[in-house]
Structure formats: C-alpha cells, structure tokens
Structure 1
C-alpha cells in the first residue's frame, strides 16, 4: 500500500513538473534537480541567461512562465497572492504595479535577509533600490531594467516650423515645461494638421512623476486636492490641449501606432525603450526623421522598469533569491540589454563600454546607450507611490484628460477626477 502511494506521488510530481507547478517534493523537478520557477512578462532578455545559469548550476532546473503582456501577469500575481498559493519562486513586478506589491510587502521575502550577502542595495541607482524598500527598510525586489527619459522629436517637422532641429540646439526648447509648451505654441501656429505631442495623459504623467509628493503622501493619505503641483500640471496640460497642441491619441492604441507612421505629432516623451517602439511603428520610411536629445523638461525622469521578487510562497526562497541576484547583476544586465534592449539599473552596468558605445542608426547614429546612461543619473529620487497610485493614473486621470481632449470643460473634468480619486483611494 505504501509502495503504491509512493508510485502515485511520483506520477503526480512528474505531471506537476511538466506543468511548472512547484508544490511537489519541496520544489523538485522530476529528475531530482531543484526546480525554480520564474514568472515574467513581455521580454526581459533572459532566455539565453537561463541556459547559462543552469550550465553553471547543474542542480537547478529553471522553468519560465512568460506572459505576453503585463496586465494579465499582474492580475495573476495578485489573484494568487490572495489565494495563498500558486505563485512562482521568482515573480517579476513592473514599476506601475509596484505600489500594490509594496502594500502587500508582508507576503514577500526581504532579499537583504535571504539573498547573497554581497548583493546590497548600493549596487543599483539609489532611486531604483529605494522604490522597492519598505518603510521598515526591507528590500522586496532586485531591480531589473529602467526607463530614463529623454525627448524624441521629428527633425523635419521642427524645420517646417522654423524651430532648431539639431539635437544640441533643441535642448533649450526642452529645458522646462514652460519652454516646452511655448515651443508647442510656435509649432502649431506654423504647421497645420500636426500636433505638438501625442496625448495629454502622456505629458501629465511625466510632469506628475517628477514631483517629490504625488497622489499620496508617505502615510498613504490622498493629497490630490491639497498638492498644488498636481493642479498646476493639470492646468498647464489642459491649456496646451485648448491651444491645439495635443494629437488626442491614447498611448499604445492602433491610432497612436499609426500616428508615428503618418507624422501626426512632432515630439514624444521618450524613455529608453521608446526608441524601439518608434522605429517599429514609424517604419523604415521615416528613418532619419526622428531624433533624440539628452534633455527633458525640468530635469530627469523615469518611465518603466521592473523588479524580481521572491514571494514567501516560494519553497526554495534562498535559491530563488540567488537566481534573481544573478539575473540582475551588472554582467547579466548588459547581456539582457544586448539581447532585448532592456536598459540596466545597476551602477557598474551603466559604466560598461558595451552600453556606452551602443549606436542607434535609426536615430541618426546617436550613441543612445551613453545618452540614456547620462539621463538615468539625473533622476534624484523615486516618487513615493500609494497603494492605488497606478489605478489613479490609468483609470482616473488618463480618462479625465481624454475627456478634456474630447471637449469637456477642464474644471468640470478636474472635479470628476478628484471625486473618482477619492473613491479609488478608499
């Protein structure tokens, strides 16, 4: 009877291994190796790195669960956090969802405790590590990539408006938000049928994320009404909309994608990964028309990037943390960058020659690696994000700004946004 039970158990574990479930045998694969599951989304550039890690650690088998988009990945993560089971040993978290993870920090391991002792937060840019550090100084995630911001623009459209088009000369236009919107007034007055920027929400989010205090203060109190910077941003952006500066496009929509190809707007807030988006959507017929400059209104900023976390559900937490530490080490960040363009967040990686010498031919042979490495250094601190921060950005302020672009009174739209923010924050 006991022998029969062992046979059934072995069969179940073998099937579970095939399905990438780690519940059997304390995370053992069918061949007896320690199985580490890692859940990611989109492209992290890890496929070849997994092979390299397994070759150096013959006792480890890595099983990847890769989701095509970030939203379903994170929905699955939060569902399984609530259920108390089913998570991978290593779970990737995108920065837009990090505040929700930090609100559930008790369900994740402190990587300073279980990770390799030589892997300390000072390996990363300070603001990158700080964003994944709890109020009681527990480190929840090892930083992967980042999205330092620069400005991209259409040189030919700038020339049509009588604006400078050389990357060095345009910096003065992008020095502050005031100078940016002033240049937008000049542009729309000279060029008909083309907007200055793609959509109001894209500009508003970039402005908002530069402030020390955003939608929430550090006690998680909603401060939308009491934070004058938010209303000031709202006024500046909606004024620009009223003057015809917005193409009124929703980011990542089909219309937005087509807007690149047809030249519907002249400037784009441009994190490092946006270069690939522009090249793909604008197409080869627009090669050489787009340029990027190492300037961003009111200083630096960041849009994008992720973390590797180890949930307490993991049955191999220490080994999972070791894998996460290795994947995010400078050497591997450079390899991931070369494979998929994910921009490094570790200090040593940002000084790597392979990064600094990287050239983007589509944008006029610019040394894009060096440009964005410099932009990353301009980010001084990560804005504190409350538990509902991402929800306010995506489901409250973006739709409210879109309603202004569709003709709604800005003051009325503001009141609606405040009311919806209060509901979301409860």
Structure 2
C-alpha cells in the first residue's frame, strides 16, 4: 500500500458478505461496542466500514486515517512502546512488518482470537508467512499485495529497433541478463536511459533472493550473501553504461520523467499502473504497455496487514472486523475503489478481478495478468528488524551516490557500513 496508487478501471460490483449481528459484546452509549481502526494512504475502507456497521448494528467504528505511511508507522512504534494509544485494529505495511514481527508479545495471535473459519489457506502462502513471527504468532491478516510485472513504452522500444508488442517483448524481460542486454541495445540506439534508477532495479532483485539483508538469526547478511554483491555489481555496471535515468523514486523529477519519456521501462507492481497513468497523463495514453514477464520470474512490492494489538479492549470483535475487511468479497471491493490488488486465493480467481481491463494500457486484462504474477512469487523472504531501514537508509543512498559519480566499490562500502550501523 503506497501513496500515489490510484484506482484501476472499475469493475462490476459484488454482493455484500457478512452475518448481521455476528459480533458480540457491548459498550458505549446505547449498548453499542466501539471499535477503532488505524490505516494510512488509501485502503478503500470508507464504504466498507459503513457497510460493516449496517451489518452489525451493535458496532460503531471510528477510522483514524493518516496521509503518509512513514509518520503513521513512527507513531505506531511509539504507541507500542508506550503500551497505550493504539487502535483496536492497526494496519502495517510490508516494509515495516519486520519491525513488528520481533514484538509478538504486543499483539494478539489471530490463530487464537480470530474467527474459526479464517484460516491461513485463505491467503497466498507467501503472504500469510510474511506476517508470522518466529514464535508462531500470527500477527496480521493480509490486505493487498503488489505482484510485479514490467511496464514499458512501446513507441520508445520500437524507435530503438526493439520488439514492442506485449508478447514479443517477453524474451527481453525473461531474465536480468536479458533485461540488461536489451538495455545496452536501447542505450546504444538512442543514447537515452533504459530504467529510472539503480535502486529501483536493485530492490526488485534483492526481494527475489532466498536470503535477504538478514539471516533468520537476525545476523547481517549483506556481505555473507554473495548474491547481494552480485546484484549490486550487475546493476551498477548497467547504470554506468547509461541505462539509468538517475531519478529518485516519487520525486517531482521522477514523476515528470513519465511524461518526458526519461526512461523506457519500469518495474511495475500492480498499483504502479495507477502511478504511471497519473504521471504520464492523457497525452501518453496507449504508449505505455505492461507484460506478464518479469526478470527472475516474479516478485512483490507493496501490500499491508491488519493486526490486533494487545492494547485492544475488544480483541475478538477487532479480529472479526479485520477478518471481514480482508475477506475475498471485501478485497474485490477495495480493488474497485483504489486498485489495491487482492491477496486472498479465492479473490484471485473471481471473474470480477480476472475480467478487469485497463484502457490506458491498451485494454490489457490487468486483473488476469497480475493474478498470474502473484502466483509466481515464491516463499516469503525472511525480513528481520531493520530490513526496511537498510533499503531506505543504506543501499538506496549508496546507489544514488554511484549514479552521481562514486565508484561502485566505494558505494558498496558505503552501503555495508550504513547497514552495519543500522543493525548495530
């Protein structure tokens, strides 16, 4: 779940789901039980929460919504440490879940308090596994996901003498080797950048590894795992060869790059289609395409979870609300509102999702495309405390420094030193 994601094409509505009055408990004025939920950016929950209140006349819900994920998660960690002030249900973004999983004692185990019919097999395996602590505590019900595909400018590839049809381009994006080789051809033909930044590509590669920045013993692996350095060398070599546009993601310059054709390809989680459409604008409709090929097979970027802190005075009712919000029917409705891609297996096979098309990208069946990509994601990579901070405050700044002229080896040392400080 990221700021800037906008709705994909609307699809037909689905029927409401829920057993009226199923949540017990009482409290507050008039016998109503009051629940609070905290989210950030756009989860598409406004209409759903009103629907839940209609289905459960004894429940009143207060929704605390924060505009940006960074401040929201900082407040979440502060309130956890203070053991007060948290909502009954809290949203946690995938980049911040590592800092939560080492605090299972502060959260209810959803396996114990959740509805009996809300089982792990409702979700894709890797989504469920991403929210289970080492001691087995099931901390969060999965909301959305961000399966990866590749977006590209058809006109720019064609002008460089490269294939441009969504089927014909697949060999270009079959592996990272073929992707960077195509980038060399593109740069040689045009003198322009192939992708937006080294860090965007490196992060996608990093998330595909079996072992990430930390081992399951929470030992720093940035030097002990040779695959990380191999990815670094490959990305920085491509960047120094002219493939990077040297744009910081979500900066004004990066936003403008979509309009100006500053780069020809973009790693695209499902929610990125909305970003591309918003930033590239109407003038570039039909020029952007998306294909269900992605180097290395697949990957995920984005998504969140709903958890019930021990601070909640109504944990059972809170878990029922979280389970309902993340059920297949509600995930489809949230997708209709915001484009957030479902993580529940049943939702991924629903006609409402599979028949969704996107006119801006040439009427491609985006629901079907990303449902296929979601199935390509393998076992969840373990992400220990500090994992997200390493990406944000160690590798990404170091890669930007390389783009600005620092040698790849000096940049690598900068990244390693920063990671060591983060992990302590």
TM-score by length of 2: 0.93
Helix, strand or coil for the counterpart of 2:97?
A: helix
Query: Partners in 1 of 2:356 and 2:220 — Cα distance?
Result: 42
Query: Partners in 2 of 1:286 and 1:105 — Cα distance?
Result: 47
Asked whether the 8 Å contact 1:199–1:246 carries over to 2, the reply is yes
Q: Cα deviations across residues 281-333 of structure 1 (Å, max 9, x unaligned)?
A: 00000000000000100101000000000000000110000000000000110
Query: Partners in 2 of 1:179 and 1:101 — Cα distance?
Result: 37
* Structure 2 equivalent of residue 251 of structure 1: 249
* Structure 1 equivalent of residue 297 of structure 2: 299
How much does 1:31 deviate? 4.1
* Structure 2 equivalent of residue 217 of structure 1: 215
Helix, strand or coil for the counterpart of 2:242?
A: coil
How many residue pairs align between the two structures?
A: 400
* Structure 1 equivalent of residue 7 of structure 2: none
Q: Which residue of 309, 312, 321 corresponds with 2:310?
A: 312
* Structure 2 equivalent of residue 182 of structure 1: 181
Helix, strand or coil for the counterpart of 1:243?
A: helix
Query: Partners in 2 of 1:27 and 1:239 — Cα distance?
Result: 62
- Structure 1 residue 171 corresponds to structure 2 residue 134: no
Helix, strand or coil for the counterpart of 2:166?
A: coil
* Structure 1 equivalent of residue 225 of structure 2: 227
Query: Partners in 2 of 1:254 and 1:117 — Cα distance?
Result: 47
- Structure 1 residue 63 corresponds to structure 2 residue 62: yes
* Structure 2 equivalent of residue 325 of structure 1: 323
Identify the range of structure 1 (158-167 vs 129-138) with the bigger mean alpha-carbon deviation. Answer: 129-138
Asked whether the 8 Å contact 2:202–2:231 carries over to 1, the reply is yes
- Structure 1 residue 408 corresponds to structure 2 residue 406: yes
Asked whether the 8 Å contact 1:27–1:36 carries over to 2, the reply is no
Q: Which runs of 5+ in 1 are unaligned?
A: 1-25
Query: Partners in 2 of 1:272 and 1:244 — Cα distance?
Result: 27
- Structure 1 residue 95 corresponds to structure 2 residue 94: yes
- Structure 1 residue 162 corresponds to structure 2 residue 153: no
* Structure 1 equivalent of residue 240 of structure 2: 242
Asked whether the 8 Å contact 2:101–2:134 carries over to 1, the reply is no
CA RMSD of aligned residues (A): 1.0
Of the two structures, which has the highest relative contact order with CA contacts closer than 8 Å and spacing of 6 or more? 2
Helix, strand or coil for the counterpart of 1:224?
A: coil
Query: Partners in 1 of 2:189 and 2:167 — Cα distance?
Result: 22
Q: Which runs of 5+ in 2 are unaligned?
A: 1-24
Query: Partners in 1 of 2:156 and 2:403 — Cα distance?
Result: 23
- Per the alignment, do residues 75 and 27 of structure 1 end up closer, same or farther by CA in structure 2, a change over 3 Å counting? farther
* Structure 2 equivalent of residue 361 of structure 1: 359
* Structure 1 equivalent of residue 16 of structure 2: none
How much does 1:137 deviate? 1.8
Q: Cα deviations across residues 64-104 of structure 1 (Å, max 9, x unaligned)?
A: 00001101110110010111100000000000000001011
* Structure 2 equivalent of residue 378 of structure 1: 376
How much does 1:212 deviate? 0.6
Q: Cα deviations across residues 200-250 of structure 1 (Å, max 9, x unaligned)?
A: 100000000000101111011111111000000000000011100000000
Q: Cα deviations across residues 175-222 of structure 1 (Å, max 9, x unaligned)?
A: 000000000000011113x31000110000000000010111101111
Query: Partners in 2 of 1:178 and 1:282 — Cα distance?
Result: 28
Helix, strand or coil for the counterpart of 2:295?
A: coil
Q: Which residue of 333, 336, 345 corresponds with 1:335?
A: 333
Query: Partners in 1 of 2:27 and 2:308 — Cα distance?
Result: 17
Asked whether the 8 Å contact 2:184–2:243 carries over to 1, the reply is yes
* Structure 2 equivalent of residue 48 of structure 1: 47
Identify the range of structure 1 (341-350 vs 26-35) with the bigger mean alpha-carbon deviation. Answer: 26-35
- When Rg is computed on C-alpha atoms for both structures, the one with the higher figure is 1
Helix, strand or coil for the counterpart of 2:398?
A: helix
TM-score by length of 1: 0.93
Q: Cα deviations across residues 110-130 of structure 1 (Å, max 9, x unaligned)?
A: 001000011011100000000
